[in-house]
């Protein structure tokens, strides 16, 4: 049975999760990919926030606390009344954010990261330290996942391009699986280890 997580998500709820748990996320979350993570690191985490970026910082600081970053480059359309809508919203490969993710989680109070392919040791340590999890979304199901996006609330840094901008969205019952938890466990590490072991057995036969 899936665990329902509603934003803002408490650290207690995150610490109760274990790898393999199925979850359904509901609430306001943000998309963010390579450009977004580099922007947060360069402007907000490494040094003093420039005056020109303070408005965006305030939005992200308030909005990401207890919330979720979704590694996603959406396909975005517009309705007849001019509102943005997600046509496709599949996860993108998360490993590119490995240099940034732990710092972003710690600085902004992010409770969960959604993506595909998993992340590595630095992010896993960040999950353990800050009380966060990595949630694996279904690759190749972009249109299906878009059905979980009920509303596009706003967009920030659209000058990065549609896929790289911060999209503020409201989701309902977004389906994921916990593959990295706050206790130092990672299904991705296990898969890598088992795969390497199997490869060595094949090569030795």
Instruction: Tell me which residues are annotated as active site.
Output: 37
Q: How many CA atoms lie within 13 A of 143 on its CB side?
A: 0
The rounded distance, in Å, linking the Cα atoms of 170 and 140 is 21
Report residue 186 as tokens: 């990672």
Beta bridge pairs of residue 30: 69, 168
3 state SS of 178: strand
Who contacts 164 (Cβ-Cβ below 8 Å, separation ≥6)?
33, 34, 35, 36, 73, 157
**List of residues 6+ apart from 140 with CB closer than 8 A:** 90
Which two structure tokens, joined as six digits, stand for 138?
């279904």
Contacts of 199 (CB under 8 A, 6+ apart): none
């Amino acid at each position: 049975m899936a665990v329902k997580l509603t934003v803002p998500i408490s650290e207690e709820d995150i610490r109760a999760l274990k790898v393999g748990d199925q979850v359904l996320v509901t609430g306001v979350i943000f998309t963010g990919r390579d450009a977004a993570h580099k922007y947060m690191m360069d402007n907000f985490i490494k040094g003093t926030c420039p005056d020109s970026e303070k408005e965006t910082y305030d939005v992200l600081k308030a909005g990401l606390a207890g919330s979720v970053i979704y590694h996603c480059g959406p396909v975005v359309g517009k309705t007849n009344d001019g509102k943005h809508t997600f046509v496709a919203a599949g996860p993108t490969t998360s490993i590119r954010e490995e240099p940034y993710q732990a710092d972003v989680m710690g600085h902004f109070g992010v409770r969960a990261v959604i993506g595909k392919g998993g992340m590595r040791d630095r992010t896993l340590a960040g999950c353990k330290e800050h009380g966060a999890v990595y949630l694996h979304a279904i690759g190749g199901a972009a249109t299906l996942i878009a059905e979980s996006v009920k509303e596009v609330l706003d967009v920030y840094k659209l000058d990065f391009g549609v896929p790289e901008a911060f999209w503020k969205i409201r989701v309902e019952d977004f389906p994921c699986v916990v593959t990295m938890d706050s206790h130092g466990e990672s299904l991705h590490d296990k898969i890598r280890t088992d795969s390497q072991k199997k490869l060595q057995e094949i090569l030795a036969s």
